[in-house]
Amino acid sequence: MEPNTKRKGEAYLGLDIGGQSIRGFRLEGDGSISARSAKVTPAALGAEAVLGAIASVVAELRAVGPVAVVGVGTPGGVDPEGRIVGEAANIVGWRGVELAAAVSRAADAPARIRNDGNLAAYAEWAARGGASKALLFVGLGTGIGGGFVDGGRILSGVDDKALEIGHIIVHPNGRPCACGRSGCVEAYAAGPSMGRLAVELAPRYDTALSRDARSGASINAREVYAAFARGDELAKEVHAIAAEALSRAIGIALAILAPDTVVLGGGVLVGAKSLVSDVAALAPRYVYEAASEGLRFEGALLGPDAGLLGSALYGASAALSLEELFALSSRVRANLAD
């Protein structure tokens, strides 16, 4: 049942379930974060163990006071009843879990469950306070996820599986992807994929990054972009390949969705500031001209709390007007910046 009121003293919980950790925070109506909790995800132990860790996080956040609603971001597809219907590669046995029911019992409050990529998009949309009508979010990390928010409504598709932008095939018969296909953009522009590209291309170069790659050192996007900042030629090629692949995928998304704003975020963007401007220059080449008229490319406004904030705000959206939601988002951003 969706909440439509908020009683005095109640707060919104945001939960972000990942393959490595389960994080949560408690968002008060004044925009302050009054409590945080995190647990290691016992992903290899199965769904019951993960649900136990989630309940522990919720219990710590509930100890502060009553809860109005809980928003939860999770990997995998989610049906309208909050049941996991898609595979989550990082959590054993996650498919079929009645997540909304379990969280609601733990919190003694309604729970709203969405795919984690969609909630990151929702957070970026809310953070702009209505300045963007249609926002496409692309998050680059261990994989590549995405979300699309149009006038405050998340584009979900069947079971919240829309906007798996990382699995748009940009090079048929190209590099193998973890999804089982070949040529997905994730195989070129995700953090670990950039590291693998650097290792494969290293024999062509004699640079600091190539020497590290040949020595067997661990290479990820972080190392690539640290080298890129120093002018390393191998890093430049890896960046060019990633930017090209990402631009092709975004070009396809522009033709289908017609956003007014494209936001690039995720851990890769921490060191890859030039990726936004380069994709902004390249992506319009892969779509008809009118699709990019007036289009804005931006870096994410939110940092590591984006998933938590999106979860909490999406939960709060069931109880607040649009104006109240934007005001809450503005207050919490100001508090996080302090």
Element (H, E) at 175: none
Topology adopted by domain 11-124+303-337: Nucleotidyltransferase; domain 5 (3.30.420)
CA distance 292 to 251: 9
Sheet holding 11-17, edge to edge: 33-40, 21-27, 11-17, 67-74, 111-115
% of the chain beyond a pLDDT of 70: 96
Give the start-to-end residue ranges of the domains of the chain.
11-124+303-337, 131-299
Please write the tens of the pLDDT for every residue from 87-126: 776 788 999 999 999 999 999 999 999 988 899 999 999 9
70 bridge partner residues? 13, 111
The amino acid occupying position 75 is P
The predicted pLDDT at position 8 comes to 47
102, 86, 66: which is closest to 156 by C-alpha?
86
Question: Which residue stretches of the chain have pLDDT < 70?
Answer: 1-9, 89
- Domain 11-124+303-337 identical in fold to domain 131-299: yes
Q: What is the DSSP string of 7-74?
A: -TT-EEEEEEE-SSEEEEEEE-TTS-EEEEEEEE--GGG-HHHHHHHHHHHHHHHHTTS-EEEEEEEE
What's the token pair of residue 87?
Answer: 């595979």
What's the token pair of residue 115?
Answer: 């795919």
The pTM score is: 0.90
Are 186 and 144 within 8 A, CB to CB? Answer: yes
The predicted pLDDT at position 245 comes to 98
List C-alpha distances in Å: 13 to 60, 68, 166: 11, 8, 28
Are 189 and 200 within 8 A, CB to CB? Answer: no
Domain 131-299 coded CATH 3.30.420.40: yes
The predicted pLDDT at position 63 comes to 94
